[in-house]
Amino acid sequence: MKAIQFILIFLLTGGLWACGTKAEESREKKPVEQTDDASIPVKLTKVESVVRSEPVVASGLVSSAEEAKLSFKIGGIIQKIYVDEGQPVRKGQLLATLNLTEINAQVSQAQLANEKAERDLSRVKALYADTAATLEQLQNATTGHNVAQQNLTIAQFNQNYAQIRSTVDGTVTRKFLNEGEFTSAGAPAFMISSTRKNDWVVRVGVADKDWARLKVGNRATVTLDAYPDKTFTGTVSEMAQAADPTNKLYEVEIRINPGAVKFAPGLFAKVSLQPAQSRSYALVPIEAIVEGNGKDGFVFVLTDDQKHVRKTPVQIGFIDNDKVLLTNGLAGILNVVTAGSAYLTETSSVKLMNN
């Protein structure tokens, strides 16, 4: 009898425990309604209307405004190169020479030909004086002598210019040839950048649509990796009228003034060019933009009940530091969500933070 009572008590206790467990599970599965305490705190920022010009951003290398591309006047074997890239040079300094073996032989040939032409002319003159030679023979001998003199002058000129001398005070920025190589007449051998004070430019390549927006005189801001804490001002000084066939970009030259800062050819520069054309933009903080993809993005705006948000698509013009300038999407909208926007969805309840 006691055993039967114990079994009944155990079953009753187990049943009550099971009921309690099911009730607890039922309470856990029941959806919880969102209350004001579950609302996401957000902060609104006023949308500003501004008139700006979209900058053209490009990069390039600092170089001298005056650059000289030097070459040999005649072809030949390079005998000696006296400078290396990065080396400072003075105007008139000897940079390289050709092997003169062939050139000296050409000068000797021209000298011998000129001497023969002189002897021929003297003999014909004497014969003409004795009426033993015709006027035509005298004229031909005179012409032959003149030609021989000119050939000698050319050979001597080439002999004198079988070398390269710097045309400016500057720095060797490129060396295209090495000793022992053959070079043809006019082939680039050196690039020399003048190092006159405050005579510096940055040359950048821009796309055709950006080139069309620019003109000589447009302002620019320049930053250098060598001086990350400094910003330099400049102006567009030259614009190419044809695209580079290798990259299809148009070269734009920006003249900059380094002031007291030391510049050198080859410094890497980032340039922001300011076209004259401008338009209206809606300006918002960058943290207001969610799901940005290229020129497309979204912002959250407060609904009329002031308790929910609406996800609104926008068109991005460009980014300026921590601000985004929008071209479309915010017509008639005065404020956008900034703080808290990263945690929002289109079904979120919100409450405004005190500014």
pLDDT in tens, 206-223: 999 999 999 999 999 999
* Closest alpha carbon to 310 in 324, 326, 299: 299
3-state secondary structure of 275: coil
Q: What is the pLDDT of residues 244-281, one digit of tens each?
A: 888 899 999 999 988 888 888 888 999 999 898 888 89
Spatial strand order of the sheet with 323-328 comes to: 48-52, 279-285, 323-328, 309-320, 296-302, 290-293
Question: DSSP state, 218?
Answer: -
Q: What is the pLDDT of residues 74-122, one digit of tens each?
A: 889 999 999 998 888 999 999 999 998 888 999 999 999 999 999 999 9
Tokens representing 294 are 């290229």
**Is the pLDDT score of 47 beyond 50?**
yes
Please give the pLDDT value at position 266: 83
Domains along the chain with CATH numbers = 40-51+278-352 (2.40.420.20), 58-66+193-274 (2.40.30.170), 101-161 (1.10.287.470)
Please give the pLDDT value at position 199: 79
Identify the band that residue 32 occupies on the pLDDT scale cut at 50, 70 and 90.
Answer: very low
What is the rounded distance in angstroms from the CA atom of residue 206 to the CA atom of residue 213? 11
Please give the pLDDT value at position 10: 40
Beta strands in 240-289 (DSSP E): 250-256, 268-274, 279-285
Please give the pLDDT value at position 198: 66
Do 296 and 316 meet the contact criterion of CB atoms below 8 Å apart? Answer: yes
